[in-house]
Amino acid sequence: MQNRHTATDRFVVSRDKEAATHLSPGLFPAGRQSEWSAQNRTLIFSIHPLSNKTALAVGGKKTRESLSNDTLTFDQDQRVHICGISTESDSRLAFINDTHAVFVALQQLMEEAGADDSTASAVGIKGLVKMSVLYREAMQRQSRVLADIADPNEFIKEEAETFRAIHAVWHLLEIIYLTTNTPGLSTSIVPHFMEWLNANFLAPLAEDAHRIAGGSPTADDLARNELLWPYLKKLALRGHVSVLGNMLERLAPSQLLSASAARWARSLSQLCRKMPLSSSDETAGSFNSRWRQWNEELRGHATAIGCLLGDAGEKDGGAGGDKDKALEALFAISEVMRGDLDAIAAEGEMWQDIMGATLLYSEPTARADRLPALVGAIIEQFEESAFTELDRALVALLNHDLAEFLVHCDHIDHWLSAHISDLMDHISVLDICRRVFVVDPREHYLMALGESYLGHEDLWRVGLDYLGLCRTVAGALVMEEYVTRIPLDSDRKAEQVLRVCEVYTLECARDRIHRQLGRQKWQRGRLGAAIAHFAQVCDHDSIGLICDQIWNAYISSGELTYGPTIDGVMASSSLSEGSGSLLHHEGLQFLSKYRDFHELYAAGAFVEAGKVLLSILLCEIAPAYALGDLLVDSIPLLEGDTLVFSSEDTFELMRVAESLAQSQMRQSQQDGAIDCSEMNIFNVACTRNLARSFVMF
Amino acid sequence: SVSVLNESTCAVHSIAFAPEYIHLALAAASSDGRVRFYSPTDVIGLTNWTASGSIEFIPGGASDSDGPLCLSWCKSRFSTKSMIVIGGSKRNKVKVYQRDNVQQWDEIYQLDSYDAFVLDIDWAPSMGRSYHLIATACSDGHIRIYKFWPEPTHLSAELTDSLFIREGDEFDNEELGSAPHVEADNGGYSDESDVDDDEDGEDASDEGSSDSDSDDDSDGSTSESGDDARPDRPGRAKGSGKKSKAKDDGSAGKAWVPRSELVGDLIVDPQVPIRRVRWNSTGTLLVSSSDDGVARMWKMSVNGTWREIAAITAEKSSAEA
């Protein structure tokens, strides 16, 4: 018993952090909830079948009878509020649709790649890189759209921040697991990391550059500018070495610099130009030796400047603040570029800066597996409680702690966790996480995302796709459950839903939806459409009932107006495969032939009409209640001038009449009851016709 | 009204129709401690209903002061027999019953028992999970969520895994022994509860006592609980039963015992009773409402912990007049 509880998660709602949404208007005054509860009141609710909307109302705890008669009731007791967790805002719609298309394409690509084993890995990585880039382009587009909004409110600002974070996270994952694994490219992560750093965490900003270097300042202007040295240091940290070199070159002629500062500025600028850049042609060994050379030169510079500073410090006061500042800054810059970790740590503001400079200057050929060691040392210098979710996610990713990474991604945004776990699954790095978590993370996040879209009128289709493309049993079942609850507001929407059922082969759901639509259309009088739906599910009984209804309408009105309906049904059934059985349905055949009979009769082609009538009776496709009417219809043909029915035909008619009379006597049913007088007329007509037919033939 | 069913002479606290996969039936729990089942003789007209079985939840009858009964049907299509879970009674137990034939219901498992009234209970739709989820709402302000396995899990989410063991494998000994918190206890539970309801000295567990490590705060760092979960429950943690194995039904040996596990204990305020808990249509969201006029929505995170994702209060905001 002890053990049973230790493993249980006990979660306590913290009252301080509770940021509950208030119903508006509220049901009881603030702070008076115990009073409200003591008056036999509590909150009851019911959940919407499709979205997560909830209907809330006041409920009682004791029965009405046990309360005294003078208990008060209030207006609020009779209100029902409907609330829901907010679904996606419209600003994201384009993004969601774009990325949904990429998602679907990615699944297809991986399926095809999986099918053809020989090219699986080759197509895989390149294809994944392509897809990853497509995703990032969508994120960048969305960021631009958000940035273009004039006068953004809080929500838009948060969204912009979120998308920046999403892009940063995604980009880093792409670098670590995809770009550096692409065959043919260098596996050093450093150039990619710097690219990532500069793309996602802009520093120095373009404004700084403009403020300092814009308007072609002279060397003196530059030297006077207080923002210059911090700017140059940032350039160094971020690896913008050529720009740094240019700036130093422009600065060097300044009169405000001391001679030594100017000399070292020039010298440093030359070194900047000589910085070795890795290329894919070069071997690691040759690059390393070039790097070591360059590093040695830098070390020489740094030492020399350091000595100068030391000397200057010994002299009293010296040449003044500026020159010292310049030299100090140059010293710092050269220390940074030499790869001195303390200098880098001193200059860097963000941990990402420090990480980047450390990689670039001290381990230029580092691979992804060096990252955990480096990041661990750097993070120790920072206050972890000040980290944002983005920071935590990035650190977890650099540490290759993917489970932690996913959890933080989920805190950033649900879209992110769903798609990134999918990408990770295709890269085959998700299996590690599967062993850590209780449920499959990809399925969990995709299903959560899909469910959140279902209630949205424009995104329900996207939501269903996410559920379906989970490719798990649970996903399929949840999808089947929800697809039958999508409200079928219009024909077009119904068609879309049915298409979804077809694509994902949800037979049960398809069945239910067709039946539901059939009933709907039947009630609205669209009988042809109703028949078509019932035919899709082979519901012959319902079709039969509709045929009966058509027949009864004809009988009561006397006018045969169902012709076009039947034609439409038969035409559509000959086109579509599923309802081929329609052509064989007795009720429809009967109605169709009876219509033909009417037309022939109206056109005066009595003999043909008679043939059709007889064939209806012989094939026995007519329902029992119609037999009487058919026999009555035959009377004018029997009595007419032209001989329509031969003796055999007449005998057939009489046989039908006799069996009808017998069954009526047996069951005393009123269906198809034929009037006695009509019966007599019929019998007389038959006899006369027989006589004629004997004479003629 | 179409029909009036008045076999019960006491107040009826809870009624529920059976899920659509079973034939039309209605269960009604009344304060005399019985749950009665009704089926219509005429499915179209629904005018005539007959009582078709009952469960004496409180042997010997009960009175109103014993607290209300609440019930919930199992909505799974894939269960071999229909099941219903009932909560309430003098000692506030929660038990699962299974129907063997049309009229006969048998208790197969006691889920738990508490020191406070069980006010509501709901059985989640199973949606392909290999386990069932049942949530209970109590007057001590706790919402408890259980995983429940009534049968050997031969339906697994990972169909590639074979869950059947050959004869002679040391499954039972190993699993029953090693899974520390579930097997032995619950084996004990069902035996004891079958014997005598009065013997609740052991049953009335130290529910709500302090032996579980409570998370201080809902500080999203779920890696800790993830870490805790890992060594303790190697196979059990994954509800999909990926590593757990089940005995083939036909084989001789130990009979399968239903088992459960408390996976979430959500506390709002010990002074505020939770009146109602309901799962959404796929069992992924749990909504609760309590006497303080707050409706809360709970979701399971990826490492199995339950967290509040939204709260709606009926209280007027201080900004409102």
Give per-residue pLDDT as tens, A432-458. Answer: 888 888 889 999 999 999 998 988 888
pLDDT at A98 over 60: yes
- Other CB atoms within a 10 A radius of the CB of residue B135 amount to 26
A168 to chain B, minimum CA–CA distance in Å? 21
Mean pLDDT of A380-409: 92
Give per-residue pLDDT as tens, A62-90. Answer: 776 777 777 777 777 888 888 877 766 78
Give the CA-trace dihedral at A79, A84, A89, A95, to 10 degrees. Answer: -150
Using 50, 70 and 90 to split pLDDT, how confident is the model at A419?
very high
Q: Which of B116, B115, B110 is nearest to B94 (CA)?
A: B110
* Tokens 């979710």 belong to residue: A389
As a whole number, the mean pLDDT across chain A is: 84
Does the bond joining A204 to the residue before it have cis omega, within 30 degrees of 0? Answer: yes
Using 50, 70 and 90 to split pLDDT, how confident is the model at A15?
low
Give per-residue pLDDT as tens, A602-629. Answer: 888 888 888 888 888 888 888 888 888 8
HEC profile of A553-589: HHHHHCCCCCHHHHHHHHHHHHHCCCCHHHHHCHHHH
With CA atoms as reference, the chain A residue closest to B311 would be: A20
Q: List CB contacts (< 8 A) between A47 and chain B.
A: 278, 280-281, 285, 287
CA–CA separation, A80 vs B86, rounded Å?
29
pLDDT at A648 over 60: yes
Contacts of A433 (CB under 8 A, 6+ apart): A402, A403, A406, A421, A424, A441
Residue A417 dihedral angles phi and psi, to the nearest 5°: -65, -35
Q: Which of B64, B52, B85, B50 is nearest to B11 (CA)?
A: B64
CA–CA separation, A555 vs A632, rounded Å?
13
* Tokens 């860097």 belong to residue: A348
In the numeric block, which tokens belong to residue B92?
């506030």
Mean pLDDT of A633-656: 85
Among A11, A27, A47, the residue with its CB nearest the CB of B215 is A11
DSSP, collapsed to helix, strand or coil, labels residue B16 as strand
Tell me which amino acid residue A408 is. Answer: H
pLDDT at position A447 is 93
Contact A7 B220 (CB under 8 A): no
pLDDT at position A185 is 62
| DSSP-assigned letter for residue A523 | H
Choose the weakest-confidence range: A152-166, A303-317, A347-361, A410-424: A303-317
Q: Which of B248, B306, B237, B184 is nearest to A13 (CA)?
A: B306
- Other CB atoms within a 10 A radius of the CB of residue A276 amount to 17
pLDDT at A171 over 90: yes
Tell me whether residue B51 is exposed, middle or buried, using C-beta atoms within 10 angstroms of its C-beta: 0 to 12, 13 to 18, 19 or more. middle
B86 to chain A, minimum CA–CA distance in Å? 19
In the numeric block, which tokens belong to residue A365?
């050929």
- Other CB atoms within a 10 A radius of the CB of residue A561 amount to 11
pLDDT at position B247 is 39
In the numeric block, which tokens belong to residue A23?
């119903």
CA–CA separation, B281 vs A48, rounded Å?
9
- How, if at all, do strands B26-30 and A54-59 pair? unpaired
CA–CA separation, B315 vs B303, rounded Å?
33
CA–CA separation, B261 vs B235, rounded Å?
13
pLDDT at position B316 is 82
pLDDT at A170 over 90: yes
pTM over 0.90: no
Q: Is the dihedral of CA A94, A96, A100, A106 positive or negative?
A: positive
Q: Give the helix, strand, coil percentages of chain A, each rounded to 5.
A: 70, 5, 25
CA–CA separation, A364 vs B268, rounded Å?
54
B240 touching A (Cβ < 8 Å): yes
Edge to edge, the sheet with strand B83-88 lists B70-73, B83-88, B93-99, B105-113
Among A5, A11, A13, the residue with its CB nearest the CB of B211 is A5
CA–CA separation, B321 vs B319, rounded Å?
6
* Tokens 């749990």 belong to residue: B286
pLDDT at position B254 is 59
- Other CB atoms within a 10 A radius of the CB of residue A134 amount to 17
Of the residues B312, B317, B320, the best mutation for testing chain A's interface (the one with the most A CB atoms within 10 Å of its CB) is B312
Query: Which residues are bridge partners to B313 per DSSP?
Result: A22, B294
CA–CA separation, B213 vs A96, rounded Å?
41
Q: How far is CA A5 from the centre of its chain?
A: 38
Give per-residue pLDDT as tens, A243-265. Answer: 888 888 888 888 887 888 888 88
- How, if at all, do strands A10-12 and B259-267 pair? parallel
B175 touching A (Cβ < 8 Å): no
pLDDT at A578 over 60: no
B316 to chain A, minimum CA–CA distance in Å? 4
Q: Which of residues 403-432 of A touch B (CB under 8 A)?
A: 403-404, 406-407, 410-411
CA–CA separation, B49 vs B43, rounded Å?
9
Tell me whether residue A84 is exposed, middle or buried, using C-beta atoms within 10 angstroms of its C-beta: 0 to 12, 13 to 18, 19 or more. middle
Q: List CB contacts (< 8 A) between A438 and chain B.
A: 229, 237-239, 302-304
Q: List CB contacts (< 8 A) between A13 and chain B.
A: 218, 266-269, 296, 308
Contact A474 B128 (CB under 8 A): yes
CA–CA separation, B284 vs A452, rounded Å?
11
Cβ atoms B183, B259 nearer than 8 A: yes
In the numeric block, which tokens belong to residue B281?
């249509």
pLDDT at position A172 is 95
Q: Which of residues 79-98 of B touch A (CB under 8 A)?
A: none
HEC profile of A355-420: HHHHHHHHCCCCCHHHHHHHHHHHHCCCCHHHCCHHHHHHHHHHCCCHHHHHHHHHHHCHHHHHHH
Q: Is the dihedral of CA A247, A250, A256, A262 positive or negative?
A: positive
- Percent of chain A clearing pLDDT 70 (strictly above): 90
CA–CA separation, A371 vs A637, rounded Å?
98
Give per-residue pLDDT as tens, A177-200. Answer: 988 877 666 678 888 899 999 999
CA–CA separation, A161 vs A165, rounded Å?
6
Rounded to a whole number of angstroms, the distance between the first and last alpha carbons of chain B is 43
Contact A21 B312 (CB under 8 A): yes
> Which residue ranges in chain B fall short of pLDDT 50?
155-252
| DSSP-assigned letter for residue B317 | P
In the numeric block, which tokens belong to residue A71?
């208990």
pLDDT at A309 over 90: no
Contact B313 A20 (CB under 8 A): yes
CA–CA separation, A75 vs A595, rounded Å?
62
Angle, in degrees to the nearest 10, between helices A190-200 and A351-362: 150
Angle, in degrees to the nearest 10, between helices A460-468 and A491-503: 10
Tell me which amino acid residue A208 is. Answer: D
Q: What is the DSSP string of A82-110?
A: EE------GGGHHHHHHHHHHHHHHHHHH
Mean pLDDT of A50-71: 79
Edge to edge, the sheet with strand B118-123 lists A10-12, B259-267, B142-149, B132-138, B118-123
pLDDT at position A280 is 67
pLDDT at position A581 is 59
Cβ atoms B178, B187 nearer than 8 A: no
DSSP, collapsed to helix, strand or coil, labels residue A335 as helix
CA–CA separation, A57 vs A44, rounded Å?
5
B287 touching A (Cβ < 8 Å): yes
Cβ atoms A364, A371 nearer than 8 A: no
A82 touching B (Cβ < 8 Å): no
Cβ atoms B198, B144 nearer than 8 A: no
Higher pLDDT, A127 or A676: A127
Q: Which of A523, A598, A584, A591 is nearest to A551 (CA)?
A: A591
Give per-residue pLDDT as tens, A475-505. Answer: 898 999 899 899 998 999 999 999 999 999 9
b/e code A317-329 from CB counts within 10 Å (16+ = b): eeeeeebbbbbbb
pLDDT at position A671 is 53
